[in-house]
Chain A
């Protein structure tokens, strides 16, 4: 029994959503388009593909990209795993553990993220040099984990606070052990939150430029280092840069697709906020 007016308004809202989405993403859509243009056509802006070509992808998809993708993959996934496994339980304990100085602890975690990466590079470079961590996958995973765990803690906190009181109390009454109740009840409720945060951390690490360039040489070089070699050149390079950027954007985008689908599922029935 949806009235005409309501349906019309709904169509309007959907159309508006599409418009906003396309306009907002336009620079990236244009980048995707440019990646199929010949280099000489890349520059004067046209929405028309005069001579579509896969040449740019051919240039950037050299054999060596595999090693960068592999390093990036390992570093990103390991960091996400550590951040989630360490950060989610921590957040849980601070939110529900009735710790004496919960707020202080939260604030402390926040305060550790304040030093800009640019400022961190020289001290971290010196430390890594002394510890022999330069150009190692482990070193990169370590630094990215340290920097992102507080973010995970903070974001999970928001999702934990969303969990309705009844659920918490009903889990309590069951007499189940704390940890078990945590895993069986709370975690599934926050699953979409955990997935979103995992995705965000993955993107942060995958795209991180400055640490990647400064702390690696040849053995642990992630994708941003490969991209840097396409970023400025003496010749025209925008079509090639578009091609490599499109490729590099693919893993986060695919993960993003899945993450926002899980976000959509919402809380399971019967445990919604009241």
Chain B
């Protein structure tokens, strides 16, 4: 493996670094620049003026900002926990071989194929609408009032929708991991007399730890960026009760047309996310280092 240290091999990383750097860092720099100006697109008469850190102050003194951060944290933690658990369980379930397993697998990962805006509309109208969705049918069957999913339980409903849509992502990764475990190991554990649960916890999960790591790290980033589902169902409401940081950015950028505020919020969002990812990443590094030693 020492031969890979040759500089020529390292060149292989260059295209990726260059493309990604240019495409993702340039917008971040522009965003930081925009966060220092006042620019309200629909009021060109007010002009574009440099205002330093005022936009950041404006954001940080708004009470709604803090509820949105709290919402984002709740959505992320709850969704990640549910997705991870379901991803592992479904991954195990789909790891069997039987006739039609391909269909079963495709069905389970199908929510992932739908545009999140369309998924949101399906849930909002056909499933959970209180006047003509399945929600109403079940409610009248049981003789109760239909549940106000998008009104009173807006945050919880968003979490449920996110879990519904993103569990397939986790399932794919976990399933790939489980498939890579040899039959011999699984059988040897069974011979040892280990129960199904013990086998899972002490043998299978540690083996697929790097899969779990990828799923959680990437999953967290995706869930943090969820926007389409919220846009089409609750629009962040009622109030700001189901708004997350990306949706709040949208409100500022495309309804308020306040580019400065939106950019400042985007920078703050990236900052918060960076910190969260950093700690999670380090935690995984430590655990993985322990496991492999």
- Which A residues lie at the B interface, using CB under 8 A? 10, 13-14, 16-18, 20-22, 24-25, 27-28, 30-31, 34, 43-45, 82, 86-87, 89-90, 92-94, 96-99, 103, 105, 107, 109-124, 126-127, 142-143, 145-147, 149-151, 153-155, 157-159, 161-162, 168, 172, 178-179, 192-193, 196, 200, 203, 207, 209-210, 224, 227-228, 231, 238, 241-242, 245, 248-249, 252-253, 256-257, 260-261, 263-264, 266-267, 272-274
Asked if B10 and A245 sit within 8 Å, CB to CB, the answer is: no
Closest to B179 in A: A266
Chain B contributes a number of interface residues (CB within 8 A of A) equal to 110
Asked if B221 and A113 sit within 8 Å, CB to CB, the answer is: yes
Complex CA gap A161/B12 in Å reads 19
Complex CA gap A273/B19 in Å reads 35
Q: Interface on chain B toward A: helix, strand, loop, or mixed SS?
A: helix
Asked if B1 and A98 sit within 8 Å, CB to CB, the answer is: yes
Residues of chain A within 8 A (CB-CB) of B181 are 273
Complex CA gap A181/B207 in Å reads 25
Q: Can you add 11 more A-B contacts, CB < 8 Å, to A93-B10, A142-B23, A150-B20?
A: A21-B104, A21-B108, A30-B127, A45-B133, A119-B253, A120-B27, A146-B23, A178-B6, A210-B228, A241-B121, A245-B122
Residues of chain A within 8 A (CB-CB) of B274 are 111, 114
Asked if A196 and B218 sit within 8 Å, CB to CB, the answer is: no
Asked if B119 and A117 sit within 8 Å, CB to CB, the answer is: no
- Smallest CB–CB gap between A266 and chain B, Å? 5
- Which B residues lie at the A interface, using CB under 8 A? 1-6, 9-10, 12-13, 15-17, 19-28, 30-31, 34, 90, 93-94, 96-98, 100-119, 121-123, 125-127, 132-134, 136-137, 164, 167, 169, 172-173, 175-177, 179-185, 207, 210-211, 213-214, 217-218, 221, 224-225, 227-228, 232, 245-247, 249-250, 253, 259, 262-263, 265-266, 269-270, 273-274, 277-278, 281, 285
Residues of chain B within 8 A (CB-CB) of A89 are 12-13
Complex CA gap A154/B218 in Å reads 8
Closest to A34 in B: B126
Complex CA gap A14/B137 in Å reads 29
Complex CA gap A110/B277 in Å reads 9
Residues of chain B within 8 A (CB-CB) of A92 are 12
Asked if A98 and B4 sit within 8 Å, CB to CB, the answer is: yes
A13 and B93 in contact (CB under 8 A), knowing A115-B24, A203-B113? yes
Complex CA gap A134/B126 in Å reads 36
Residues of chain B within 8 A (CB-CB) of A105 are 13
Closest 5 CB pairs of A and B: A146-B23, A119-B266, A123-B30, A272-B182, A116-B246
